[in-house]
Structures are given as C-alpha cells and as structure tokens.
Amino acid sequence: MFGLWIMYVAIILWLGAHLLESRILVKYILCLICIVLACMPIFFTHYSSIEIIYAFFDAPSIITILIALTFLAKTFVQDVGTLMHKQISIPLALQPITFLYYAVFGALLLLGTLNIVPWLDVYHFDPIFENLIVLGVIAVMIYSDMLMGIFLALASVALFFTDTHNILDNIFCPYLWVYSVGYTLFMSFISLRKYYEKRILV
C-alpha cells in the first residue's frame, strides 16, 4: 500500500508541474488536498479510492516505485532551489524510447496472459528461461537508457529481499504499462503535429 501512495503522490505532482508550472506552493497544496481526498471513503463505502485501486491492481512493482521516488526527489530538490532563487538542474530523466519498449513488452505479456498468443505466456515459463528473458530486457534497456537499466537491475536484486517470488512482478506492473502506453501515444501525437507543422511552413 505504501508503494501505491508513493506512485499516487508522484502522479499528482507531475500533473501539478504541467498544469501549474511555476506556482510551486499551489502545487504542493493541491497535492496535500488530493492526499486527503484519497484517504476519504467514496460512494458511501468504507473504502478509500486508494484501497479500491489496490484491491483491483495490487501494489505497484519495485521498478515503478523507484521511478516515482526518483521523480519525487528530483522535483522536490528543484522546487526548493527555485524558492531559494537558485537554478538546480538534475539530469535524471528516462528516455522516451524506454516507455515505448515497456508499452510493447507489456502488450506481449498481456497477449500471453490472456492466452491470445499462448507461447508468449512468460509467467508459466521455466524460471531459468524467465530469468533469461528478464536479463535480455535489462540488456536492451541499459543499451538504450542507462538509468532505466540500473533501475531494472536494482528491482531484480530486490527479489531476494522481498516476498515476491516472480522476478517479472518486480520489473513490471499494470500501472507502469498504462503510463507507458499513454506516454507513447502522447509523444507520438506531439511528434506528428510538429512534423506536419514543419511541412505546412515549408
């Protein structure tokens, strides 16, 4: 549940950063209000929105929590620097191609899990073969995005310190896949718009 709260706060701050821009105090007040609302029971039930989401989708993966914590730390340090009239730049950002890879990887896992493409059902593979697939994913990520590769390696090592028995559960979850699909579609739309704007200007 704690990991879900970390992800929730990161999403609220991300939305605040894009909608409120330089209004830092307003952004954190909005974040606090959203946290309070998320704790309140909804629709005359005894469950908060966070508890309902947790019941449907379980806790986020280790990799998702690492990404959220990195974003929160980076945002907080930069905002404190802005309030102190100091420009602080932290070059910690995942490459857009990373989310494209994750969107494709998640789609393949979904096809296998739903038995649409049975031979892609990685969750029922031999553990050794499953680990080889994860190593392949880590290698691809390190080649395209060093930061994501490091996160994946840390999430894989965390398997020995958590109750998770499946390495895929540490590096993948529905939350990250939905975000990756949405981010990829959004960036594709932006790229197409810029492309056609250039064509019109030419």
Using one digit for the tens of pLDDT, what is the confidence trace for 79-88?
Answer: 777 767 666 6
Mean pLDDT score, 165-172: 74
State phi, psi for 48 to the nearest 5 degrees.
Answer: -85, 170
- Please state whether 85 falls in left (phi above 0), alpha (psi between -120 and 50) or beta: left
Mean pLDDT score, 60-83: 83
Task: Output the pLDDT for position 164.
Answer: 64
| Closest to 15 (Cα-Cα) out of 34, 40, 36, 38 | 34
Question: What does pLDDT average to over the chain?
Answer: 79
Look at residue 33 and tell me whether its pLDDT is greater than 80: yes
Look at residue 21 and tell me whether its pLDDT is greater than 80: no
Query: pTM here?
Result: 0.80
Which of 35-39, 113-117, 180-184 is the least confident region?
113-117
pLDDT in tens, 100-145: 888 888 888 888 877 777 776 776 777 777 778 778 877 887 777 8
CB contact burial 73-110 (16+ within 10 A = b; e otherwise): ebbeebbeeeeeeeeeeeeeebeeebbbbbbebbeebe
Mean pLDDT score, 178-201: 81
Residue 41: strand, helix, or coil = strand
Look at residue 202 and tell me whether its pLDDT is greater than 60: no
